[in-house]
Amino acid sequence: MRYYSTRNRSEAVGFAGAVLTGLAPDGGLFIPAEIPRYREAVGTSLGTMNFCDIAFETIKPFVHPEIPDPVLEDLIHSAYPFTAPLVEAGDRQVLELFHGPTAAFKDFGARFMARAFSYLRRGEEKPLRILVATSGDTGGAVADGFYGIPGISVTVLYPKGRVSPLQERQIAGLGGNISALAVEGSFDDCQRLVKAAFGDESLKKRLVLSSANSINVARLIPQGVYYAAAAGRAFAGGTHEDGEATPRSRTAEKVPPASGRKGGNFRVVPGQPITFCVPSGNFGNLTAGLYAKKMGAPIKLFIAATNINKTVPDYLHSGSYEPRPSRATISNAMDVGAPSNFERMAAHWSLEEMQKMIRGVSVHDDETRRAIGTVHKSFGYFLDPHGAVGWEGADKLWEQKLLEDGPLAVLATAHPAKFGETVEPLTGTIPMPASLGKVLDRVPQARSIPADISALIEAL
């Protein structure tokens, strides 16, 4: 597979060149020259294949021939001792993406990326420095995924005071080859600083830099796997049993949804493609879903559900793309006013093509809180603030007659226990998964810097 910049299609590089560089030299993002299709035998068997086999078939065409098949199989089995169960929750499904070590969907991309980097850089003497900006879960997943990997160090930038205490422990509590910088600003400031560092020629002469945000295509591609696996399972008429970390109360009331609203019929039906409602911030997750759909996974539609940072929903409605400063919300990982991966989406698809595949909707904090409380009371299921944005977004579109009945899954991108200070006043005590219990004793060690490129360069 060859990759070119979203801003220059005349020069292409291989997979290694794209992922180890991170950001293209012209400031664009690397995208594949084509989105491959599943082999027919794979496309018709997604409902019965195991997760690692689907991962192999999904990732292989994007990394061939630079990662040989036997190596890729080993990388995948090492990265994914966990899966993404599609479980029933009331009148719809939830795709649980928090069964990995940091209880967030970023584990799927970060763990594969760390192993791919290690393989692609075998034999190199000069160490690699990973720079990553995070609004919450990315930093913890990258820190965990790269912790202890020889020859690679990681610096995580996060907005000071805008991540949860547990997220901060995951980002800044490991030490070793992982360091953390608390930026006095927003996630957009963190992202701007990382891009500026990649563009600083004097810094690049001193350090070998790469990225681990969703601007890096190596983190994006593996995220398509759970879409394909869940879509195949649903198309075959199946869901999964609860996993060990599934946040469900066994003693909850079974009452109709509060507020008197009647929801749609979103349960799985054999032979019907599924709609995914994707809580969206930087739009890497949704871009990966679009890749899975184009590869042939049985997906009907996507819902891009944002909080009040609704740059992309506004674009889908008006056709005018207007990035803006981000605003803080309780779904903090989605507080992005200038989503990087929109540039990828726009490079692949026109406005009209996006409008056929995506419905945009925004949800404010009061609606998010209401969804958390209502879903728990009605169905005994705990949502984190980001998943609640997705749940509420689907309901809003259905009420506006912009969404039809049919199989629908809300992506639960992080375990609600990571946001106990927001969720528990609405639901009571959340069951704590074992993966998060291990984090609570960590002491965050981060250096504070102003949102200035000279301060970042000095820290590096």
DSSP string, 49-113: S-HHHHHHHHHHHHHTTTS-HHHHHHHHHHH-SS---EEEETTEEEEE---STTSBTHHHHHHHH
Give a yes or no: residue 148 inside a domain: no
For the cut 60, the answer to whether the pLDDT of residue 256 exceeds it is no
Q: Is 259 left (phi over 0), alpha (psi -120 to 50) or beta?
A: left
Q: 292 versus 191: which is more confidently predicted?
A: 292
Give a yes or no: residue 200 inside a domain: no
Give a yes or no: residue 62 inside a domain: no
Asked whether the beta carbons of 155 and 181 are under 8 A apart, the reply is yes
Please state whether the peptide bond connecting residue 127 to the residue before it is cis, i.e. omega within 30 degrees of 0.
no
Tell me: the pLDDT tens digits for 310-341? 999 999 999 999 999 989 899 988 999 999 99
What is the reported pTM?
A: 0.90
Task: Determine the Cα–Cα distance for residues 210 and 17; give it in Å rounded to an integer.
Answer: 11
3-state helix, strand, coil in the chain (%, to 5): 45, 15, 40
pLDDT value, residue 105: 94
The count of structural domains within the chain is 1
Please state, rounded to an integer, the average pLDDT across all residues of the chain. 93
Tell me: the pLDDT tens digits for 21-72? 888 888 899 999 999 999 999 999 999 999 999 999 999 999 999 999 999 9
Q: What confidence category does residue 262 fall into, taking pLDDT thresholds of 50, 70 and 90?
A: low
For the cut 80, the answer to whether the pLDDT of residue 450 exceeds it is yes
DSSP letter for 251, please: S
For the cut 90, the answer to whether the pLDDT of residue 123 exceeds it is no
Q: What confidence category does residue 6 fall into, taking pLDDT thresholds of 50, 70 and 90?
A: very high
Q: 212 versus 171: which is more confidently predicted?
A: 171
Please state the rounded mean pLDDT for residues 395-422: 95
Please state the rounded mean pLDDT for residues 432-455: 92
Give the torsion through C-alpha atoms of 276, 281, 285, 286, to 10 deg: 50
pLDDT value, residue 259: 41
The SS3 of residue 244 is coil
> By residue range, what is the domain housing residue 328?
86-102+220-433
The SS3 of residue 269 is coil
Residues with active-site annotation = 106
Give a yes or no: residue 42 inside a domain: no
Give the torsion through C-alpha atoms of 278, 282, 283, 287, to 10 deg: -130
For the cut 80, the answer to whether the pLDDT of residue 135 exceeds it is no
Tell me: the pLDDT tens digits for 101-122? 999 999 999 999 999 999 999 8
Please state the rounded mean pLDDT for residues 155-167: 90
In the chain, what's the furthest Cα-to-Cα distance? 64
pLDDT value, residue 212: 80
Please state the rounded mean pLDDT for residues 402-406: 94
Give a yes or no: residue 77 inside a domain: no
Give the torsion through C-alpha atoms of 6, 118, 120, 222, to 10 deg: -50
For the cut 60, the answer to whether the pLDDT of residue 258 exceeds it is no
Task: Determine the Cα–Cα distance for residues 232 and 433; give it in Å rounded to an integer.
Answer: 27
256-270, 286-300, 377-391, 444-458: the lowest-pLDDT one: 256-270
Q: 14 versus 191: which is more confidently predicted?
A: 14
Tell me: the pLDDT tens digits for 234-255? 999 999 999 999 999 976 544 4
Q: 369 versus 251: which is more confidently predicted?
A: 369
Please state the rounded mean pLDDT for residues 423-434: 95
Please state the rounded mean pLDDT for residues 81-101: 96
CA distances from 301 to 31, 294, 403 (A): 22, 12, 10
Closest CA to 408 of 141, 165, 230: 230
Please state the rounded mean pLDDT for residues 370-388: 97
Give a yes or no: residue 182 inside a domain: no
pLDDT value, residue 188: 85
| H helix runs in 277-364, sequence order | 284-295, 311-318, 342-348, 351-357
Task: Determine the Cα–Cα distance for residues 26 and 192; give it in Å rounded to an integer.
Answer: 15
Give a yes or no: residue 130 inside a domain: no
Q: For position 230, which CATH number holds?
A: 3.40.50.1100
pLDDT value, residue 251: 61
Give a yes or no: residue 393 inside a domain: yes
